[in-house]
Structure 1
Amino acid sequence: MDLIDVIKKRRSIRRFKNQPIPDDVLTEILDCARLAPTAINIQPWLIGCVTDKVQLERLANMADHGRFIKDSAACFAVFCEKGQKYYLEDGCAATMNIITAAAASGIGTCWVAGDKKEYVEAVRTLLEVPDKYTLVSLIAAGYPDEAPEKAKKSLAEVSFRNQYK
């Protein structure tokens, strides 16, 4: 599947098979995350991958809209340095690289909000991430046990060229 197909076919997955993701696939996804574009090439991120079932359940209990994390094979956690002006944009770029690389490997994901959520500090503390970083996103990942076909808005509904009319 080429990149365009991966992007067009990807959907958020919240039900996962009880099947681990091989370490080499997780490493490849992490490697793709670090290659995301970043403002002034600062690369302000620290990107974790949690596969321990106890830790996954703890993360699921913290994330108000991420209870399904406990059933995932892995959860990526994207952190960025708090003081960087474009930390959120940079962290979101890394998040999208994780989601796209995972989809290309047949791994389903669901982006769980991080930044601005009450559990940001609790997740940072749980994962023992240094205080200079803040959570941008959690991404549950695993082999899909569902195939959602939620309709997307048409291109005409969400786009314009040159100026909106």
Structure 2
Amino acid sequence: MYLGPNLGLTILKTRHSIRKYKEDPIEEKIIKEALECAHLAPSARNEQPWLFGVVKEKETLKQIADLTDHGKFIEDAQVCFAVFGKRDAKYYLEDCSAATTQLILGLWAYGVGSCWVAGEKKEYAEAVRELLGVPEDYTLVSLLPAGYPMDVKIAGKKVLDDIVFEGQYSSE
């Protein structure tokens, strides 16, 4: 179903990392819709090697925040999604990254901001997995704290012409 370019492009072009959240709760419908977006992400060989955790309890949010090195703001989120990938799936990182991106965009479609906090290769990945009781055959790929934005600060981006090349790269 094609909705026209404006809605989809607006969602894609206006999404920014949000680290400060209002205390307003997020409706269950929005959480379910965003998870549906993640669940429908492309997956190599349609393996779908993901497992999604939804954390709302303030004490658990604080515990996760305390484990991370760059995610202290997780404790202020209304919810934190934890995306895990099945360790033995060849493309779990790519698949779970696609699912995380679609989760981010699904939330933003409702005005809910988020910020991708790394999980893959982080020292705290195992501790988060254990805290949430996730089976050992999964590994943490990403944490996604979310909430309604307190404010939106738009970071500057590089000029498109500076980061795109056609055909073969040339430094000239």
Specify the alignment match of 1:52 in structure 2: 57
For residues 169 and 9 of structure 2, the distance between their equivalents in structure 1, rounded to whole angstroms, comes to: 26
For residues 47 and 38 of structure 2, the distance between their equivalents in structure 1, rounded to whole angstroms, comes to: 14
2:146 paired with 1:141: yes
Specify the alignment match of 1:121 in structure 2: 126
Distance apart, 1:115 and its partner CA:
0.2
Pick from 28, 41, 44: which aligns with 1:39?
Answer: 44
User: Can you list the C-alpha shifts for 1:103-143, whole angstroms capped at 9, x where unaligned?
Assistant: 11100000000000000110001111111000000011000
Distance apart, 1:48 and its partner CA:
1.0
2:51 paired with 1:28: no
Q: Could you tell me the percent identity over the aligned residues?
A: 50
2:99 paired with 1:94: yes
Aligned length: 165
- Superposition CA RMSD, Å: 0.9
Specify the alignment match of 2:17 in structure 1: 12
For residues 133 and 114 of structure 1, the distance between their equivalents in structure 2, rounded to whole angstroms, comes to: 12
CA radius of gyration, larger in: 2
Distance apart, 1:74 and its partner CA:
0.6
Amino acid at match of 2:105: T
Distance apart, 1:146 and its partner CA:
1.3
Superposition TM-score, scaled by structure 2 size: 0.94
Specify the alignment match of 2:3 in structure 1: none
For residues 88 and 159 of structure 1, the distance between their equivalents in structure 2, rounded to whole angstroms, comes to: 25
Superposition TM-score, scaled by structure 1 size: 0.98
User: Can you list the C-alpha shifts for 1:50-91, whole angstroms capped at 9, x where unaligned?
Assistant: 111111111110111000000001101000100111110001
Amino acid at match of 1:115: E
